[in-house]
Copies of this chain bind each other. A is one copy, B any other.
Amino acid sequence: MNILFIMYDQLRFDYLSCAGHPHLQTPNFDRVAEMGVRFTNAYVQSPICGSSRMSYYTGRYPSSHGAQWNNFPLRVGELTLGDHLRKLDMDCWLIGKTHMHADAEGMERLGLDPDSVIGARQAECGFDVFIRDDGLWAQGIAGYYDESRSPYNEYLKEKGYTDSDNPWADHANAGVKERNKIASGWMYENADRPAHIHEADSETAWLTSRTIDFMKQAKGKWCAHVSYIKPHWPYIVAAPYHNMFGPDHVPAPLRDEVEQEDTHPVFKGYMDNQVGQAFQRDEVRQKVIPAYMGLIKQCDDHLGRILDYLEETGEIKDTMIVLTSDHGDYLGDHWMGEKSLFHDQSAKVPMIIYDPRRPANATRGTTCDALVESLDIAATFVEAAGGDVPAHILEGRSLLPLLNGERPKWREFLISEFDYSASPVGGTLAEEYCLKPKDCRLFMVFDGRWKMMHAEGGFRPMLFDLQNDPEEFHDLGKTDAHADVIARLYDYLAQWGRRMSQRVTKSDEDIENMRGKAGFKGVLPFMYDGSEVPRPLIKHYVGKAPKLPDAKD
């Protein structure tokens, strides 16, 4: 079996028709959901691209892998999906985005040449690269955000988009306005214009074509991480997707005045930041959300191309498909934009898994509300590839039992983390509350009903009761009324904090096999006279005393 691990960037859990969106039809997502299982309680380990992805790729919490923010390098030697799958004779390919930043200092310290196979895999988060393109070719007075080469920009130039140095910015992510001026997708006012590009050349179309190219030539057993930049901002989309949706399709923002009262300082920091302020404006939501929906509709159509290819070739019978995202998008809900905190709009993601094998027939077309963490994906793939999950390294659990309709005892809570130390809000709060970078961290504990957010630095917790307040408007951490619930969730967090996450060189099995073995190697530090152990164990320590040489200098 091969694995197609498809990730969209910033795709909200509820912007799919199978998840109940009232206006957005996504028949191809729905088609996979019909073939497999849609997990309705899937959360990412961190609501920020880089950190979330490193958790998907390592199967470990941000606090375990250490790459807690975009562009924090994943330290050299940290084990990844590629390491685990290649051991099982499954190749592990990348087609698209990872947000991986190599630990250049660590690689140099260990003498790893980035041009060697080992070095390249270290630098690429364990993947072999078919295409690497992170899709953020932003450009400013300090240069490019991403200084690597952009295969997508190279492609556009080959296709004749030669009138700009950065056709990603000027074509794929910009329209045209009055007097033939560029209408940059970075500005929300332009989000309703068509991108200045032929749809067939847009990022989503391009990456889909590369994915099909990959499958046509792929040999052996493989896992391919197909990783789209969209529907991530800049919010602008090529025709005909730019006007499929309009202000009538924009739901009212999920926000409540009560959220503005006695607001938790970190929440307030994000409400009040520039993107929060922007998404509080109706005209922003009315321009952006239809574009966001158009981008998703486009993703859905191109997903259809992949599914059609798999069906035409028959490979669908031998390919596991995972559809997910690295985090959501507030889109003005809770007075916020972007991601960051742990409301469902941000931390919950779509998670649809199709397993072609017979045992999964038991669950096709169903949903599953077990508490799923994004790091379960790595464990799932290891098991799908025929391996035993190395539980001393991978912190997640394989979802295969759930896909097969079993009902194993499942986790009671899940954890997500957010390190905002490097963000501008971190700077503001650090100043206001004398926080050090290590204090700029948030933890979510969610038990399926109660969701608590703990912030380091001496703040009170936030608490939501998703049973009675599914919109997460009422922060019950403002009073002591739910101290018992809060204490219970803090106990979960403490239990998690003590987890064994770094004993990566010894498995449980190794340890069980070690017990008591030192005695067979002569380590017997408990004997009075040797009668304590069977005679053969001490045979090296009895017998004739050897001759003592004469004393010399």
Contact assessment for A523 and B136 in the assembled complex, using a CB-CB cutoff below 8 Å: yes
Residues 531-553 of A contacting B (Cβ, < 8 Å) = 532, 536-552
Whether, in the assembled complex, A312 has its beta carbon less than 8 Å from a beta carbon of chain B, the answer is no
Contact assessment for B189 and A503 in the assembled complex, using a CB-CB cutoff below 8 Å: no
Whether, in the assembled complex, A200 has its beta carbon less than 8 Å from a beta carbon of chain B, the answer is yes
Given the known interface contacts A77-B75, A112-B111, A537-B140, the answer about A275 and B526 at a Cβ–Cβ threshold of 8 Å is yes
How close is A16's CB to chain B, nearest CB, in angstroms? 23
CB-CB under 8 A from A251, the residues of chain B are none
Q: Which of B186, B188, B490, B549 contacts A494 (CB 8 A)?
A: B490
In the complex, identify which listed stretch (A278-286, A294-302, A374-382) lies at the interface while the others stay far away: A278-286
Nearest-CB residue, chain B, relative to A67: B505
> How long is the Cα–Cα vector from A358 to B217 in the complex, in angstroms?
71
Whether, in the assembled complex, A18 has its beta carbon less than 8 Å from a beta carbon of chain B, the answer is no
CB-CB under 8 A from A543, the residues of chain B are 181-182
Whether, in the assembled complex, A138 has its beta carbon less than 8 Å from a beta carbon of chain B, the answer is yes
Contact assessment for B490 and A63 in the assembled complex, using a CB-CB cutoff below 8 Å: no
Tell me how many chains of this kind the complex includes. Answer: 2
CB-CB under 8 A from A528, the residues of chain B are 187-189, 278, 281, 283-284
CB-CB under 8 A from A540, the residues of chain B are 139-140, 166, 169
Contact assessment for A180 and B545 in the assembled complex, using a CB-CB cutoff below 8 Å: yes
Whether, in the assembled complex, A508 has its beta carbon less than 8 Å from a beta carbon of chain B, the answer is yes
Whether, in the assembled complex, A317 has its beta carbon less than 8 Å from a beta carbon of chain B, the answer is no
Whether, in the assembled complex, A517 has its beta carbon less than 8 Å from a beta carbon of chain B, the answer is yes
Given the known interface contacts A111-B116, A174-B541, A187-B530, the answer about A106 and B505 at a Cβ–Cβ threshold of 8 Å is yes
Given the known interface contacts A184-B541, A188-B528, A511-B437, the answer about A548 and B197 at a Cβ–Cβ threshold of 8 Å is yes
Complex A-B, nearest 9 residue pairs according to Cβ-Cβ distance, in ascending order: A497-B497, A160-B549, A66-B502, A138-B522, A140-B522, A163-B546, A184-B541, A77-B77, A494-B494
